[in-house]
Chains A and B, each alone.
Chain A
Amino acid sequence: MATTTSMEMPQDEKVWGGGNQPMGASYGKLMMWFFLISDALTFSGFLTAYGLMRFKYETTWPIAERVFTHFPGLEGDQPLLYVALMTFILIMSSVTMVLAVHEGKNNRKIRVGLWMLATIVGGLIFLGSQAWEWYHFIIGDKGGIELATTEIVRPADADGNFLTLSELVHGEAGGHGHHEHFTIKQVQDAFAHGDYTLRFPGKDKEYGVMNPDNLIAHDEAVELLASADVVQGANMTRNEYGHKQFANFFFFITGFHGFHVFSGVVLNFIIFYNVMLGTYQRRGHYEMVEKVGLYWHFVDLVWVFVFTFFYLV
């Protein structure tokens, strides 16, 4: 813990008397910190609101690992891998940012510029990854069924194992079917010829033991299907994964975070440009890099929490 500071003012009652920096940080840095605190409270408001809704709609709230299962170039379900990669990219760009700050202390212009460039590239890759994830979230994958009560259920076999619409209509080998649009008629036909059930997407009461309340038996399912509809993909009013609030929170929280990343990339670029112009070399210090670095690390910090509370828990 480095508590030694080189402030000229002695630590006495004159510290708060004006004309110095009582907290040992410049005005700009202090204001960045206070902005980040308010931003942290904003994000905590979103994430706790997500928690409230998730607790409230426990039976129809989708489980994230059954939703985000794609990985570029890999077939089949790959839960968590892609967001893990995104997390890795953001942590990596946080390291390059802190290295830029570090080189700024040593007044090495070119090195600061190079590390900042690496940070910008990392931010852009993250934004691209997020766009990819949004794309797959929006076009959907497995398909769901909206009952007349607007509740979302998914087809399942007699034992309650989830089936995709493609598997239901084309048989077990059907796999993923996000390139095909299914009709409720096809679903009704499949139910007429096989012993299928409907199941709510919510979590199990106990791990590995399906909550029997979550399963709708075949006969009742056929009745409900008479006035149901097929849902594929996600938008603000309905999504195939479960409760509609889930998609709304997904768009809002990751969208708001993505907007922060985008702003961060823009700010980083402006600072990078100034670094290369030599603005801070002439000024004698690289505190602007430090300030924008604080913002960038905060964006990474928020993602660590989004990763846990949206994808893991």
Chain B
Amino acid sequence: MSDNHAHGGTRRLWMVFFILLVVTTVEVALGIIKPEILMGSPGGFTSWLNYIFILLTLFKAYYIVETFMHLEGERKSLRLAIYLPVLILIPYLTFILLVEGSALFAS
């Protein structure tokens, strides 16, 4: 059994909860208001707003994995074994399928 848990109490957990709550609220507010200044699309792919949504999502995912799933306290070998396959394969798959989807739309 691993006893490498940070014994710092629950303050940090509640703080992460608060961060997740605030980020979700910001996402929803942006989604409802849709500020016009963020609707332009750099590079013509998708809007600034969508890039912001994706970044905030990855930000939330990082906190869930590191703190709630407690990956921050695990050994480097385990962290890499978990992070690398996911961080290499998923962006790759996303890239391929979205490019393909655009091509299908254009054809």
Contact = CB atoms under 8 A, between A and B. Distances in A.
B57 A308 contact: yes
Contacts of B7: 105
Contacts of B67: 98
Interface residues of A, number: 64
Contacts of B1: 26, 285, 287
A52 B69 contact: no
Contacts of B10: 99, 102
B25 to A, nearest CB: 8
A51 B101 contact: yes
A52 B13 contact: no
A76 interface: no
Contacts of B89: 41, 44
Interface of B is mostly: helix
Interface size class of B (residues with CB under 8 A): 35 or more
A79 B33 CA distance: 10
B64 A95 contact: no
Given A51-B94, A55-B104, A56-B104, A26 B17 contact: no
Interface in A40-84: 40-41, 44-45, 48-49, 51-58, 65, 79-81, 84
Contact of A313 (B50, B74, B75): B50
Given A41-B89, A52-B101, 19 more contacts: A3-B75, A3-B76, A5-B4, A22-B77, A24-B2, A25-B75, A26-B1, A41-B85, A44-B90, A48-B97, A52-B104, A91-B24, A92-B17, A94-B17, A98-B67, A297-B69, A304-B60, A308-B53, A312-B27
The 7 closest A-B pairs by CB, nearest first: A55-B101, A207-B39, A52-B101, A23-B78, A56-B104, A308-B57, A52-B97
Interface of A: 1-6, 22-26, 29-30, 33, 37, 40-41, 44-45, 48-49, 51-58, 65, 79-81, 84, 87-88, 91-92, 94-95, 97-99, 101-102, 105, 206-208, 285, 287, 293-294, 297-298, 300-301, 304-305, 307-308, 311-313
